[in-house]
Amino acid sequence: MTKQNRSAIDQARSSTKRGGEAAGETAINAIDTIEDIGKTAGDRISDAIRDVTAR
């Protein structure tokens, strides 16, 4: 393998790794957002139940 080919392969690996890390970070952020939405929905449901029960 030539030095030039090796360099191209190393650059491709590095780019792939960065892309994978970015995708992983995006997935983690999406999960965090979904958890936040779930907590907010749960809080609203709890509030609604409390309001109905208090009447």
pLDDT in tens, 35-55: 999 999 999 999 999 999 987
pLDDT tops 90 at residue 1: no
- Name the residue among 33, 9, 52 with its Cα closest to residue 41: 33
Our CA angle for 52, 40, 36, nearest 5°, is 165
* DSSP string for 1-55: --HHHHHHHHHHHHHHHHHHHHHHHHHHHHHHHHHHHHHHHHHHHHHHHHHHHH-
Q: Which two tokens stand for residue 48?
A: 């609604």
pLDDT tops 80 at residue 4: yes
How many other C-beta atoms can be found within 10 angstroms of the C-beta atom of residue 38?
10
